[in-house]
Chain A
Amino acid sequence: AQSVTQPDIHITVSEGASLELRCNYSYGATPYLFWYVQSPGQGLQLLLKYFSGDTLVQGIKGFEAEFKRSQSSFNLRKPSVHWSDAAEYFCAVGAARVSGGSNYKLTFGKGTLLTVNP
């Protein structure tokens, strides 16, 4: 069974500083990897995804993530954080169904809460 670990429960950065949120996954095959962001009381918005190909993926809002198979990691980065980035961030891994089709269920990490200081 797949699993996702987000080691940092809460991170605080200053506005304008760089950001890296860690994500480690466990899965027996090539994973489908995602980062979602959740603002308080809201649903989840997809930031970026990795399915195959280039291991550095670009997402919305200036975020990027790098897939490192050797480290089973998919860390999220942003060079300069804005106050509006304060939210909770979830890493997720998706598994294809054995019986065919390409749809799958997502396994989420417990999330990292990002606080941005002015």
Chain B
Amino acid sequence: NAGVMQNPRHLVRRRGQEARLRCSPMKGHSHVYWYRQLPEEGLKFMVYLQKENIIDESGMPKERFSAEFPKEGPSILRIQQVVRGDSAAYFCASSPPRGPIEQYFGPGTRLTVT
């Protein structure tokens, strides 16, 4: 049973480019969460999605950031016009549809903006 998969593991973008981060949840999991980890800080919640629905995006920056979890395929976190402050590790977690249950984390995507 494969765990949560994220790709790419490392991503380098120049300022102003777009970054697309992908997350495939564990088999049977229909809930996806995105978190951001900045240097010397803990993880901060960004967004919670179910298939084709954004449930809670209270942690998402108001501009340039968007997320989706389509009926088919992985969840995508999209950052437009990246700036140096976007450099961070982005983690995806998934959980099954019923609970309460824990979240299982992927290995993360480390985004570097040059």
Contact = CB atoms under 8 A, between A and B. Distances in A.
Interface of A: 4, 32, 34, 36, 41-46, 49, 51, 90, 94, 96-97, 101-111
Contacts of B41: 110
Nearest to A46: B102
B40 interface: yes
17 contacts: A36-B105, A42-B108, A43-B4, A44-B91, A46-B102, A46-B103, A97-B55, A102-B98, A102-B100, A102-B101, A103-B95, A103-B101, A104-B100, A105-B56, A106-B103, A109-B42, A110-B40
B43 A34 contact: no
A4 B105 CA distance: 19
B45 A105 contact: yes
B69 interface: no
A51 B102 CA distance: 10
B59 to A, nearest CB: 8
Interface in B72-114: 91, 93, 95, 98-108, 110
Nearest to A44: B105
Interface in B32-48: 33, 35, 40-45, 48
A42 B37 CA distance: 12
Contacts of A46: 102-104
A101 B56 CA distance: 13
Contact of B42 (A94, A101, A108): A108
B106 A103 contact: no
